[in-house]
Homo-oligomer: A and B are copies of this chain.
């Protein structure tokens, strides 16, 4: 059984490790958790003692199989709650993250199973991120940043890489949403910005930075 704080650290480590593929440094954890390195070292020892991570002094941590499973359950809860907030309570996609940060720590296996069923077993959250099933599995669709796309193929917006409220609000404002169809009309040499057509009816320019934060399939 993990505490609220331990769950948050473990989730951060999971994300920073690229779903458990690489080691994570103390300073990276401190950065994302908004804490000091000394606090991270303390927590690392606790998570290590609980076999959630393996820890080599001065060389960062690796998440264990067990730690990954726990992290995935927190991610599952976070994304199911975000889906609930948008689909049932009509939150906008920029309002849900902070509330889900709290809701993801509610302890009740029954609750999360019933919520999943109520939402009809969604596979992605409002930001296009995959929702792990109760065994921790999820479908991984190969997605690439819009900035890496070329030509005039038909492109579908699948997910946002950065979920900050300001980016999400901006996307809503210009008419970009998960599932939208876009075509690249022109790539501006000067600054890497793109002129795109959204759903075949709206032309807009978006910055390179914005295009790097939109994940798409061609």
Chain A residues at the B interface, C-beta cutoff of 8 Å: 85, 88-91, 95, 98-99, 102-103, 106-108, 110-111, 114-115, 118
CB pair A107–B102 under 8 Å, yes or no, is yes
- Residue of B with least CB distance to A115: B89
Measured between alpha carbons, how far is A99 from B107 in the docked complex, in Å?
8
- Residue of B with least CB distance to A90: B114
Partner of A106, one of B88, B89, B103, B114: B103
CB pair B114–A108 under 8 Å, yes or no, is no
Overall SS of chain A's interface: helix
User: In the assembled complex, which residues on chain B have CB atoms less than 8 Å from the CB atom of A98?
Assistant: 108
User: In the assembled complex, which residues on chain B have CB atoms less than 8 Å from the CB atom of A107?
Assistant: 102
Q: How far is the CB of A15 from chain B (nearest CB, A)?
A: 22
Name 22 interchain pairs, CB-CB below 8 A, sorted by A: A85-B111, A85-B114, A88-B88, A88-B118, A89-B111, A89-B114, A89-B115, A89-B118, A90-B114, A91-B110, A91-B114, A95-B110, A98-B108, A99-B106, A99-B108, A99-B110, A99-B111, A102-B106, A102-B107, A102-B108, A103-B103, A103-B106
